[in-house]
Amino acid sequence: MLQVSILREQRDRIIKGLEKRRLKDAATLVDQVINLDQSRRDTQKQADDLKAKSNAEARRIGELMKAGKADEANTLRTAIASEKDQLKSLEQKLTGLEEALKVHLYKIPNVPAEKVPAGGGADDNITVHEHGSMPQLGADALPHWELIKKYDIIDFDLGIKITGAGFPVYKGKGAKLQRALINFFLDEAEKAGYREMLPPIVVNEASGYGTGQLPDKEGQMYFVQEDGLYLIPTAEVPITNLYRDVMLTEGQLPVKNVGYTPCFRREAGSWGAHVRGLNRLHQFDKVEIVQVRKAEESYQTLDEMCAHVQGLLEKLELPYRKLLLCGGDMGFNSAMTYDMEVFAAAQQRWLEVSSVSNFEAYQSNRLKLRYKNKEGKTELLHTLNGSALALPRIVAGILENNQTPDGIKIPNVLVPYCGFDKIS
RNA sequence: GGAGAGAUGCCAGAGUGGUUGAAUGGGACGGUCUCGAAAACCGUUGUGCGGGUAACCGUACCGAGGGUUCGAAUCCCUCUCUCUCCGCCA
């Protein structure tokens, strides 16, 4: 969530920024928060003053009792009664205002960074970089959902049998390719200075709020009713929440973590022909990089993280493009996001394989993730994360682009990880 | 799942209902001493919110939420979590 103080001090800039998202009623939302905050502060002042008064009176009674002046103490005691009611109602009002303030704040998405273009959807995204040449496939080229059947490496029907649609079973070389990719991605991240974390894949409610999946994206996560736990939609949730309520020292920065986890997404209502095969799943594997940075470094870090992701795609010899997302296409929490898309030649489609975002202080404000700067002042840190990488669409790209009459060629860097150079 | 114990500051660990933001010890930081270091000694060592240009002041916080009281870390209730023992188990 945004910091109220910034909302207050930079109202116009914030509204202007939010309008790049094509957010309706940006000004109304912001003003509601500012007004609620004003009432909250007024009410707190009243309550604090009244408390100061009654604290003093209580102390006075104590002194009188000690001095043996019970009569005077009792007189004072009866005089206090009306203040108590007043205090109670003030406190109720205050908690009501705080609650309302929070609800309204949760409704306001992050403010897009300066460089982010205005826009409502994918059409307004800007392609900032392209790499690699489009593979030329023969007329008999198959989309990956045909290839996986042909070579018997990924089985959707078995997944349906034991679980349901969107839960594929990886078999033989298909399974080994998954494992190879995970190891490759983790090794590359480690070389780039990231520390590997293997977190739980179910999280509690507080973690859901910490990274912003709750309250608004509740329906997109699988929920274990019995224990009140959510299956993670991305490793971002557990790995970033490691830093919830944390005060870091300067020496602990920067934080660079990487984690492999399965990811679970209910994706209710978005099922259809355009999401065939591996394009969209309920369970998939992903390696995620997460960084915690000082505010002044975070945009340089965003570039570094993109470079890392681009390096992976280049090593895998996949043609890709890099998009700077427009305001309306970014996630709720993000201030700036780059998407990486791989070209899947048989489908003739670009597939999103990574999303790298700077959340600035939006998450850390909710997480209470701070550090003490050189002047000894506590400051919110910036959080960033990116997929490096999400597996299924990478697999789709490799399968489609590398198909040959006598099998699928494994990218050279993966051969040592796979132990084979061809799926046939 | 059954039985019991507990939750206090960076850590360990006191705490009688009335200046307790909280003893004491350790750690960390600063200083004195020293050529330097150790030891010793002295000092500092919270966070949120509100008010103030500021020094500073007010307020809240001893797992969380309620309650009793003029006054709660201290008494009562509920919840959460942790630990120990037993059972089950990869």
pLDDT digits (tens, 9 = 90+) for A183-237: 999 999 999 999 999 999 999 888 888 888 887 787 889 988 878 889 999 999 9
Looking at the structure, do residues A16 and A151 belong to the same domain, yes or no? Answer: no
**Strand B close to A206 by CB, under 7 A:** no
Looking at the structure, do residues A38 and A131 belong to the same domain, yes or no? Answer: no
- Which protein residue lies nearest to nucleotide B10, measured between its Cα and the C1' atom? A247
**Strand B close to A370 by CB, under 7 A:** yes
Q: How confident is the model over A146-168, as pLDDT tens digits?
A: 999 999 999 999 999 999 989 99
pLDDT at A268: 58
* Choice among A260-264, A273-277, A359-363, A374-378 with the minimum mean pLDDT: A273-277
Looking at the structure, do residues A81 and A136 belong to the same domain, yes or no? Answer: no
Q: Does a structural domain hold residue A25?
A: yes
Residue A269: band (very low, low, confident or very high) from pLDDT cuts 50, 70, 90: low
Q: How many Cβ atoms are within 10 Å of A280's Cβ, its own excluded?
A: 18
- Find which nucleotide's C1' atom is closest to A377's CA: B47
**Percentage of residues in chain A with pLDDT exceeding 90?**
66
Q: Does a structural domain hold residue A111?
A: no
Number of domains in chain A: 2
Looking at the structure, do residues A245 and A355 belong to the same domain, yes or no? Answer: yes
Residue A136: band (very low, low, confident or very high) from pLDDT cuts 50, 70, 90: confident
Q: How confident is the model over A312-349, as pLDDT tens digits?
A: 999 999 999 999 999 999 999 999 999 999 999 999 99
**Strand B close to A266 by CB, under 7 A:** no
The reported pTM is 0.91
Q: Does a structural domain hold residue A126?
A: yes
Last residue in a domain, options A74, A106, A138: A106
Q: How many Cβ atoms are within 10 Å of A90's Cβ, its own excluded?
A: 17
* Residues facing residue A423 across a β-bridge: A408
Q: How confident is the model over A288-302, as pLDDT tens digits?
A: 999 999 999 999 999
Q: Does a structural domain hold residue A116?
A: no
Distance in angstroms: CA A176, C1' B81: 41
Q: Decide if the complex's ipTM is over 0.85.
A: no
CATH number of domain containing A373: 3.30.930.10
Please calculate the CA angle A302-A281-A288 and round it to the nearest 5 degrees.
25
Residue closest to A360 by CA, chosen among A404, A300, A298:
A298
Q: Report the SS3 class of residue A298.
A: helix
pLDDT of A62 higher than 90: no
Nucleotides in chain B with any atom closer than 7 Å to protein CB: 18-19, 47-51, 58-60, 66, 70-71
Looking at the structure, do residues A71 and A164 belong to the same domain, yes or no? Answer: no
Distance in angstroms: CA A65, C1' B66: 29
**Strand B close to A102 by CB, under 7 A:** no
The answer to whether A356 and A334 have CB atoms below 8 angstroms apart is no
- Please state, rounded to an integer, the average pLDDT across all residues of chain A: 91
Last residue in a domain, options A41, A71, A106: A106
Produce one character per residue of A318-329: b if its CB has 16 or more CB atoms within 10 Å, e if not: bbbbbbbbbbbb
**Strand B close to A81 by CB, under 7 A:** yes
Q: Please, what is the angle between helix A173-191 and helix A391-401, to 10°?
A: 120
> A51-59: long-range contacts at Cβ-Cβ below 8 A with a sequence spacing of 24 or more?
A51/A87, A53/A83, A54/A80, A54/A83, A54/A84, A54/A87
Residue closest to A357 by CA, chosen among A394, A381, A390, A383:
A383
Residue closest to A353 by CA, chosen among A324, A322, A383, A328:
A322
CATH number of domain containing A58: 1.10.287.40
Looking at the structure, do residues A268 and A335 belong to the same domain, yes or no? Answer: yes
Q: What domain range is A147 assigned to?
A: 122-423
Looking at the structure, do residues A90 and A229 belong to the same domain, yes or no? Answer: no
**Strand B close to A55 by CB, under 7 A:** yes
Looking at the structure, do residues A298 and A394 belong to the same domain, yes or no? Answer: yes
Question: Which residues from 1-20 of A have any strand B atom under 7 Å from their CB?
Answer: 4
Looking at the structure, do residues A293 and A386 belong to the same domain, yes or no? Answer: yes
